[in-house]
Amino acid sequence: NAGVMQNPRHLVRRRGQEARLRCSPMKGHSHVYWYRQLPEEGLKFMVYLQKENIIDESGMPKERFSAEFPKEGPSILRIQQVVRGDSAAYFCASSPSLGGYNEQFFGPGTRLTVL
Amino acid sequence: DQQVKQNSPSLSVQEGRISILNCDYTNSMFDYFLWYKKYPAEGPTFLISISSIKDKNEDGRFTVFLNKSAKHLSLHIVPSQPGDSAVYFCAARPSNTGNQFYFGTGTSLTVIP
């Protein structure tokens, strides 16, 4: 049973370009979460999605960032017009259900570098 | 607003001794707490959890203690092994939201052989 998969593992973009980060949850998981880890900081929640629905985007910057989890295919975190401050590790996690206590399973992360 | 705090950025322990990692939180709505372990260039992996109805949970060498009145939890690793060297993150989930986790900033544990 494959774990959470993220690609690319490393992404380099110039200022003003777009970054698209992909996440495939574990098989059987329908909940996806995106976190960002800036240098020397912990993981900061960005957005929580279920298939075709954004459940909680309270951690997403208001501009340039968007996320989706379509009916088919991976979840996508999209950053438009990237700036140097977007350089970070972006982690995706998935969980099987909301009810009860469920840990989240993390992918290996995508390291975004903005030149 | 850091609702989960790990005030020790690093900790060094001799192999075989006990490692104690601490975590403090401010939100009284947190009802589920977890510890994650992270190696460089990898994602965090789940280690152990505890719900707010308990004060202790044990899994092999790992024990998590929860003191709700002090809003404090700790992770004990005994005996510590060199393979335990990693960054440990404390996380908490409030009961009044979905499944959003709040993470601490991490403690880097080094176990010296």
Contact between A105 and A23 (Cβ < 8 Å): no
Measured CA to CA, the distance from residue A81 to residue B89 in angstroms comes to 31
Parallel, antiparallel, or unpaired: how do β-strands B10-14 and B107-112 relate?
Answer: parallel
For the stretch A39-71, pLDDT in tens is 778 889 999 999 889 988 988 998 999 999 998
Q: Is the pLDDT of residue A38 over 90?
A: no
For the stretch B12-66, pLDDT in tens is 999 999 999 999 999 999 999 999 999 988 899 999 999 999 999 999 999 999 9
CA diameter of chain A: 43
Q: Do A56 and B98 touch (CB under 8 A)?
A: yes
Contact between A109 and B43 (Cβ < 8 Å): yes
Size of interface A-B (CB pairs under 8 A): 61
Parallel, antiparallel, or unpaired: how do β-strands A105-106 and A43-50 relate?
Answer: unpaired
Measured CA to CA, the distance from residue A87 to residue A28 in angstroms comes to 31
For the stretch B64-109, pLDDT in tens is 999 999 999 999 999 999 999 999 999 998 887 667 889 999 999 9
Contact between A67 and A91 (Cβ < 8 Å): no
Mutate to test the interface with B, among A29, A69, A101 (most CBs of B within 10 A): A101
Chain A residues with beta carbon closer than 8 angstroms to that of B88? none
CA A38 to chain centre: 14
Chain B residues with beta carbon closer than 8 angstroms to that of A48? 98-100
For the stretch A67-111, pLDDT in tens is 999 989 999 999 999 999 999 999 999 988 665 567 889 999 999
